[in-house]
Amino acid sequence: MTSKIPVAILGAFLAAGLVAPLATGVSAPGFWFEVLLGGLMAGVLYSLVALGFVLIFKASGVFNFAQGSMVLFAALAVARLAERMPLWAALICAVAIMVVLAFVVERLVLRPLVNQDAVALLMATLGVTYFLDGFGQTIWGSDIYEINLGIKREPVMVLDNVFQGGVLINRDDVAATVVAVILVGALALFFQKTKTGRALRAVADDHQAAQSIGIPLNRIWVIVWSIAGVVAIVGGVIWGGKLGVQFSISQVALKALPVVILGGFTSVPGAIVGGLIIGVGEKMAEVFLGPPLVKALDLAGGGIENWFAYVLAMLFLFVRPEGLFGERRIDRV
């Protein structure tokens, strides 16, 4: 009960920060709502990358640093293949490529490291990151490539009878939200209702115990990396469709790190809620906190949204180290 008090205080503090621009009259309600929506939409995209981290950690206890690179690799594959075939065929081929990649990673990287320290596995995924970044550009190229999802880029104005000037939303952001909701629903069903999903959770709890009751560890790892690969395709296609496919996509993973810290490494809902908090927090901070801060303290200036996401994550670490939805770990000593 007492552990909930600091979380409540932090929550109240952040909520106060959220409505402060409105309460102080710094922002018009319409613009404030627009920034809020923009943050939520960005948060959905972060969540899609964070989901990949959570899935692999949940099922194998491995913090997969390569998730961002998998997003880049998958998006590059879709974009370049779509130049030669219809998009649906490119997506199917990309799924096949990510499954092969999962198989190769399991065979060459994970299998030799079974029952090793988590740090060894983390370092191995770091190696996979650099390999995928370099190899992806070697075979697919390093230009900016397009994924045409057929969504119009022009904004849509809504709620113009509520707010003066209306509120601007983008169709691709709405599409991303719908896809993210469907994906999370499908993953939740998979983990809770299927035999493989339950096996994945058993492996996450204890590798050796799961092996002793006949769960094939190697196959489970291939499956979970394949699922993370499919999540990477979804994330990569949405990011790529919006911004173009280029090396920088892999750096989106750096935004997913505070998301999983905040939401918890083992929680799918945590990845979603964490993504939304980070998305809204950083956009609100960049628009309403950064400029007055620079002016008041006569600072050199500069964007704050990149590091503000980590500040938010750290605040949550102080009050709830396992993350908002993470499992509390209790060790007997």
Residues of this chain that bind other proteins (CB under 8 A): 27, 31, 34-35, 38-39, 41-42, 134, 137, 142-144, 146, 153-155, 168, 170, 242-244, 246-249, 251-252, 255, 282-283, 286-287, 291, 301-303, 305-306
| Beta carbon nearer to other proteins, 86 or 291 | 291
Question: Would you call 164 exposed, middle or buried from its count of C-beta atoms within 10 A (0-12, 13-18, 19+)?
Answer: exposed
| Beta carbon nearer to other proteins, 160 or 205 | 160
Count of CA atoms in the C-beta half-sphere (13 A) of 124: 18
Owner of token pair 């109240």: 12
Which helix (H) or strand (E) element contains residue 295?
Answer: helix 290-297
Least distance to other proteins, CB of residue 266, Å = 27
Least distance to other proteins, CB of residue 248, Å = 4
CB 59 within 8 A of CB 217: no
Give the start-end residues of each E strand in 159-271.
167-169
| Beta carbon nearer to other proteins, 106 or 305 | 305
Question: Would you call 21 exposed, middle or buried from its count of C-beta atoms within 10 A (0-12, 13-18, 19+)?
Answer: buried
Residue 85 DSSP symbol: S
| Beta carbon nearer to other proteins, 192 or 251 | 251
SS3 229: helix
CB 63 within 8 A of CB 295: no
Q: What are phi and psi of 125, to 5 degrees?
A: -70, -30
Least distance to other proteins, CB of residue 10, Å = 23
Least distance to other proteins, CB of residue 93, Å = 23
Least distance to other proteins, CB of residue 97, Å = 21
| Beta carbon nearer to other proteins, 79 or 101 | 79
Least distance to other proteins, CB of residue 324, Å = 23
Q: How far is CA 2 from the centre of its chain?
A: 30
| Beta carbon nearer to other proteins, 53 or 145 | 145
